[in-house]
């Protein structure tokens, strides 16, 4: 069901990427890191087969990572996410373009990296009956997992040098696209937070009751 939803929500597109970003935190929390990763991989692959584009590799790799991050945080685990963030951030700043691009473009990545450990400590609140704690945990998990998706895309674009494949061979071309995308990413972070509070909270509460969940499936 989640793989089908993942694929379907990709097809209409979205304000910046696709509507699937609003599903990913719920997907990870319910399914857990391992089942969630595989489910998102299946869903994102099917979506790109139905609606192919030149950026297909970004979604197929980044979306499962974002879902797995949400699942790990919902289980109170932080070491795996911290390792992934650390490797990707280090690779970004070791690349010459990563040091040349404005720091503000990756501030959300740095904030999320700093939040991984504290969010893992309250991530299990998504299973509590206290509404305020539940909403706070869900909101923070949504932010960190959405940024994990963004981090994977940045890692693929710059340290993995996909910018050359996409035709952004010069720094000037890459910087113009990257800065525009970073601006959109901050708006996207805000949209995910709003949608999580308005729709994610009641959806997650309903799924918990219907499925009898007290922890992620995996």
Q: What is the DSSP string of 137-149?
A: HHHHHHHHHHHHH
**pLDDT in the model for residue 93:** 97
Asked, for residue 218, whether it belongs to a domain, the answer is no
Q: Measured between alpha carbons, how far is 198 from 160 in angstroms, rounded to an integer?
A: 37
> Token pair of 11, please?
């097809």
Q: What tens digit of pLDDT does each residue of 141-182 get?
A: 999 999 999 999 999 999 999 999 988 888 999 999 999 989
pLDDT at position 129? 85
How many Cβ atoms are within 10 Å of 94's Cβ, its own excluded? Answer: 10
Q: What is the per-residue pLDDT for 15?
A: 56
Smallest CA-to-CA distance from 144 within 45, 68, 36 is with 68
Residues 6+ apart with CB under 8 A from 51: 10, 11
| 41 part of a folded domain | yes
Inside any domain, residue 151: yes
pLDDT score at 13: 67
96-108 residue pLDDT tens = 999 999 999 999 9
Please state the pTM of the whole predicted model. 0.94
Instruction: Give a yes or no: residue 217 inside a domain.
Output: no
Confirm whether 202 is domain-assigned: yes
In a domain, 20, yes or no: yes
Long-range contacts of 206-209 (CB under 8 A, 24+ apart): 207/26, 207/30, 208/127
Q: Residue 51 burial by CB count (10 A; 0-12/13-18/19+): exposed, middle or buried?
A: middle
- The answer as to whether 57 is a domain residue is yes
Q: In degrees, to the nearest 5, what angle opens at C-alpha 173 toward C-alphas 148 and 176?
A: 60
Listed in sequence order, the residues at least 6 apart from 90 whose beta carbon sits closer than 8 Å to its beta carbon are none
Which helix (H) or strand (E) segment is 35 a member of? helix 33-50
Residues in the chain predicted with pLDDT less than 50, given as ranges, are none
- Residue 156 structural domain: 2-211
3-state secondary structure of 4: helix
Number of domains in the chain: 1
Interhelix angle 171-195/107-122, nearest 10 degrees: 30
Residue 216 placed within a domain: no
Crossing angle of helices 131-157 and 24-31, in 10° steps, is 110
């Amino acid at each position: 069901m989640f793989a089908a939803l993942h694929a379907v929500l990709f097809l209409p597109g979205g304000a910046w990427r696709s509507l699937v970003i609003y599903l990913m935190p719920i997907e990870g929390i319910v399914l857990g890191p391992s089942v969630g990763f595989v489910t998102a991989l299946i869903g994102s692959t099917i979506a790109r087969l139905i609606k192919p584009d030149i950026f297909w590799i970004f979604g197929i790799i980044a979306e499962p990572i974002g879902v797995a991050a949400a699942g790990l945080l919902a289980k109170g685990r932080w070491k795996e996410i911290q390792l992934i963030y650390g490797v990707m951030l280090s690779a970004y700043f070791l690349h010459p373009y990563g040091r040349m691009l404005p720091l503000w473009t990756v501030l959300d990545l740095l904030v999320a990296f700093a939040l991984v450990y504290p969010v893992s400590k309250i991530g299990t609140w998504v299973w509590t009956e206290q509404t305020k704690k539940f909403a706070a945990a869900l909101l923070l998990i949504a932010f960190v997992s959405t940024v994990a998706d963004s981090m994977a895309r940045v890692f693929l674009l710059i340290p993995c040098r996909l910018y050359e494949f996409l035709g952004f061979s010069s720094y000037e071309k890459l910087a113009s696209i990257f800065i525009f995308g970073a601006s959109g990413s901050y708006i996207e972070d805000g949209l995910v937070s709003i949608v999580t509070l308005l729709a994610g909270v009641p959806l997650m509460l309903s799924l918990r009751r219907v499925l009898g969940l007290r922890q992620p499936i995996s």
